[in-house]
Structure 1
């Protein structure tokens, strides 16, 4: 890009390409091809490395993304000073100065408060604007551009792309509940843990359970696909649940699957070890199981993840356990131990 083009406000499309690859990296590791392309762009684009590092810095400081600079694609972001920035005074912290000026010229990462969470907008001309919506230390609900509503659990993250002919959301972390606005011209697709879940107008909950992604359909219809060759699409109707993993299956949906949004967690004959894991996940407090015997006990009941003071009484009233307080949570011990 020439100085005349810079002065006229023109923008090197390489910066858009860098922004696209860095944004894509939020959803997971880049492929070898994408990593090589990002390396090439950083090496050949004047100040491209500074620009990429600024994006990473802002996401990291916002608490939205882990610091991915240890990956090969972004581990070496220093680039030579171009003539345009040679006049920056030596007394200024030049690396940060260049990055701030580049971001101001070619793109902006805007961090917005959204119902207790954060949204990051990547503003780029002539391109779809991906938006990262992230809950922080509490669940949040937000309305998307198309009128759909997304509820995220604590630490939940969704990368949103509203395109002309489709709506694509990458569920990066946490649990999410979707109320999809009907738009038959633009399918609504959620990508998570190797699955693509497509709906036109529906309500469903996606939980990234360690034993297999769980998708509870409360209203409408869903099509679920994978990237594995030979896999056939799975269709759900209201009242069904899809459980992924090594042996995918369809079973009855949990009507209370989305009750976590209001603080309620419903447990039906669940091992205490799994109950403890869910309470820890939603509340951010540690619920320890000190003995294997306690973890195998089965619990049924309704607990509020936002009322940890009630957990001890519920466990001790229904199970042969005692609950001990710890600085960061509780410890559950079987009475037989």
Structure 2
């Protein structure tokens, strides 16, 4: 059987060999290794071409701004932590990742005509995107590549985008608790309704449930650390408030902020323990909240009954307890007919 000639060697194998030699030459070669390298180059023209490609990718770093190079190195460290390059990777694997990212950065520079604006454009490209949705009556835990953890309540939808210099979660609907991994170089933003909540590292909850009829469009409660709350549409110029541990605030649909108040005794997000709390809440909103967790079969046909106020703590999956208590605390009666229960006035 004929042996393949050097030119028959698969290109990927040639690239690996070239990279091995590049890394070895970076840390200097012995006289014997230098002779082996020259022999390898002379064996096939493809060897020299592959070596030149790796050398070109690496030297293109000189075309990038100094702060861009520093950010490139920091991002590779983030990639390594996120398992893009395993911690156990060899020097060759690490070099390959660095050279490839250098090539991508140079490509971005070339494609847009060069300059720092091109580097900024490349920096703005996401490194991770994902969407998650929890089913009605279910909760879901999500761990992000940066180590941050989100806990989604029932009927909650989020879109997540991680960039090289910032992290962003869009809370489309529902509520979630955020345990943010601290990283001063990458602020963490939660966008909900008209609001932007910005942190570096903390634990807090955000609620945005426009379908419940609440006058509060967005609610923020802080358990640890500090968060900044502002309107997202005019973030640079809009007034903002800073919340510390044990504080909460709400905003309406226009982004107008209410007063800073203390978190209630039940703490942030009592739904983590299977509870929903109401404090002088209209009955219509109470039923809308229960409906986020399960089909209720409850209806209100009287506007006056809908505005009756409820205070208490309930298990949203145990409506029987709520219905047993309701006629004792409000002037209402339950009318069951055809699989539907109407809450009517006495």
User: Shorter chain as normaliser: what TM range?
Assistant: 0.5 to 0.7
Query: Post-superposition shift, 1:327?
Result: 6.0
Determine whether 1:303 maps to 2:314.
yes
Indicate if the aligned counterparts of 1:153 and 1:282 stay in contact, CA closer than 8 A.
Answer: no
CA distance in 2, matches of 1:180, 1:286: 38
CA pair 327-248 structure 1, distance change in 2 beyond 3 A: farther
Is 1:134 aligned to 2:133, yes or no? yes
Is contact 1:268-1:299 (8 Å) kept? Answer: yes
CA deviation vs aligned residue, 1:208-237 (integer Å, no higher than 9, x gap)? 144221111222111122213741222111
Correspondence list, 1:75-90, <5 A: none
For 1:222-261, what aligned pairs fall within 5 Å after superposition? 222-226=227-231, 227-228=233-234, 230-245=237-252, 246=254, 247-252=256-261, 253-254=263-264, 255-261=266-272
SS of equivalent residue, structure 1 residue 141: strand
Whether contact under 8 Å (1:285, 1:328) holds in the other structure is no
Distance apart, 1:143 and its partner CA: 2.0
Match of 2:223 among 208, 218, 233: 218
Give the deviation of 1:127 after TM superposition. Answer: 5.3
Partner of 1:90: none
Alignment deviations for residues 177-233 of structure 1 (CA, whole Å, 9 cap, x no partner): 212222223211111112211111222111114422111122211112221374122
Write the deviation string for residues 229-258 of structure 1: whole angstroms up to 9, x where unpaired.
741222111222221124421231344440
Count residues in correspondence: 212
> 1:170-189 counterparts in 2 under 5 A?
170-189=170-189
Matches within 5 A, 1:38-49: none
Q: 1:243 to 1:186 in 2, by over 3 A?
A: same
Give the superposition deviation at 1:290.
Answer: 2.4
SS at 1:224's partner residue? strand
**Higher strand proportion, which one?**
1
Corresponding residue for residue 275 of structure 2: 264
In the TM superposition, residue 325 of structure 1 has moved relative to its aligned partner by 3.9
Residue deviations 1:16-61 (CA, integer Å, cap 9, x gap): xxxxxxxxxxxxxxxxxxxxxxxxxxxxxxxxxxxxxxxxxxxxxx
Secondary structure at the counterpart of residue 279 of structure 1: helix
Per-residue CA deviations over 1:146-169 (Å, capped at 9, x if unaligned) read 222212222211111222222211
**Contact kept? 1:256, 1:266, Cα under 8 Å:** no
Q: Using a 3 Å threshold, how does the CA distance of structure 1 residues 165 and 190 change in structure 2: closer, same or farther?
A: same
| Structure 2 Cα separation of the partners of residues 201 and 275 of structure 1 | 33
Aligned equivalents of 1:127 and 1:313: distance in 2? 51
Change (3 A) 1:256 1:329: farther
Q: Is the 8 A contact 2:204 2:221 kept in 1?
A: yes
Stretches of structure 2 that go unaligned for 5 or more consecutive residues are 1-10, 12-124
**Which residue in 2 is equivalent to 1:205?**
205
Partner of 1:323: 334
TM-score for both structures, normalised by structure 2: 0.56
Secondary structure in 2 matching 1:164: coil
Structure with larger Rg: 2
SS of the residue 1:238 aligns to: coil
SS of the residue 1:184 aligns to: coil
Q: Distance in 1 between matches of 2:209 and 2:327?
A: 27
Unaligned runs of 5+ in 1: 1-7, 9-125
